[in-house]
Amino acid sequence: MLETKLNMPLLGDDFPEISVDTTHGPMNIPADLKGQWFVLFSHPADFTPVCTTEFVGFQSRFDQFEELGCKLIGMSVDQVFSHIKWVQWIKEELNVEIKFPIVAANDSIALKLGMLHPGKGTNTVRAVFIVDPKGKVRLIMYYPQEVGRNMDEIVRAVKALQVSDKQGAVAADWPNNELIGDRIIVPPAKDIKTAEKRSEEYECYDWWFCHKPLEK
């Protein structure tokens, strides 16, 4: 029995170049999305209950992603005609119009992105890739087929990455951290002189745990 080699891009890697068919026509990813953030997420199969709830959830937050300059892209190994029929069903039966493209991947693309996990069957697992304007993979999440994703966490993650790029590290559950709320964590001092001045310059629990206001 041949062993399936699982490949996947790692954090900080360039997102692999893929040419795909989608419900919005052919796309080259990430080339066609250069200069903007995007979230590419895979689902096990069209016309399944959990995936349907996820697509409705993503669409209900479509405007939030747009405000962040972040595009949404769905993906599974179903063919384009299946995606089209499913999107039509969602619109007709649930009164929700899916406005983002859905990629018709093949096994080669799914393996390239680490979406096929042999221990979880032949369908793609629920993968999430958040990619920055330079085409770098910034965050990866994997969920099993039986557990739907939390879309608010994905919105939060995009916001947090954008803020951290400009202002510094953000805390757990940002912007609602139990200790410092939405404040930004100051990098720990790397020498004694800087450490001694930290409490004079910032609010601190100690010299290695200081924070500053979020710039609006």
Which residues have a catalytic role annotated?
51
∠ CA 121-103-59, nearest 5°, is: 100
Q: Rounded distance, CA 118 to CA 140, Å?
A: 19
Strands in 169-170's sheet, in edge-to-edge order, are 169-170, 184-186, 209-212, 203-206
Secondary element (H or E) of residue 206: strand 203-206
CA–chain centroid gap for 19, Å, is 20
What is each CA distance from 119 to 107, 144, 178, in whole angstroms? 15, 10, 38
